[in-house]
């Protein structure tokens, strides 16, 4: 019988996690790494994409919520960028960027930010740490 490696085990579990679960896990890891990288305390979530009642969605749109904005923002300048935006996707089959998300990522990159997409919290954290460490 083939034994599953720890890496395979976690990949299997994480492939079934929702985007929200990945985001929660990312923020748990960011909190744990804040002593080494104090800038992680500035990382925040932009709550743009959840399903809402029509009345709530209309009110939020009137307040300036825009479709396609990445999920995470780290407003820390590094490597010639003003800050980092990350669109975090789940690892579930079929998870992909919407056209609006692609437009916003391109727009942010054009305007001096680093903007990326990441599938799963581990990839997102690697993007964030690479950004902070100037890799």
* Of residues 13 and 43, more confidently modeled: 43
123 contacts 91 by C-beta, under 8 angstroms: no
pLDDT higher at 57 or 103: 103
Q: Would you state the pLDDT for residue 45? A: 96
Distance, CA of 103 to CA of 106 (rounded, Å): 5
Whole-angstrom distance, CA of residue 131 vs CA of residue 78: 7
| pLDDT per residue as tens digits for the range 3-40 | 867 676 566 667 778 889 999 999 999 999 999 999 99
pTM (two decimals): 0.86
**Confidence tier at 54 by pLDDT (50, 70, 90):** confident
- For residues 92 and 16, the answer to whether their CB atoms sit within 8 Å is yes
Q: What is the pLDDT of residues 73-111, one digit of tens each?
A: 999 999 999 999 999 999 887 789 999 999 999 999 999
Instruction: Give the CATH fold of the 19-133 domain.
Output: Trna Endonuclease; Chain: A, domain 1 (3.40.1350)
């Amino acid at each position: 019988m083939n034994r599953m490696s720890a890496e395979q085990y976690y990949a299997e579990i994480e492939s079934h996690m929702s985007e929200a679960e990945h985001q929660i896990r990312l923020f748990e890891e960011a909190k744990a790494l804040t002593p080494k990288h104090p800038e992680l305390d500035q990382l925040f979530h932009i709550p743009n994409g959840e399903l809402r009642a029509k009345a709530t969605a209309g009110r939020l749109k009137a307040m300036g919520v825009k479709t396609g904005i990445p999920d995470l923002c780290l407003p820390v300048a590094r490597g010639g960028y003003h800050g980092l935006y990350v669109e975090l996707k789940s690892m579930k089959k079929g998870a992909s960027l919407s056209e609006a998300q692609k437009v916003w990522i391109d727009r942010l990159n054009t305007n001096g930010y680093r903007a990326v997409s990441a599938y799963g919290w581990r990839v997102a954290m690697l993007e964030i740490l690479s950004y902070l460490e100037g890799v």
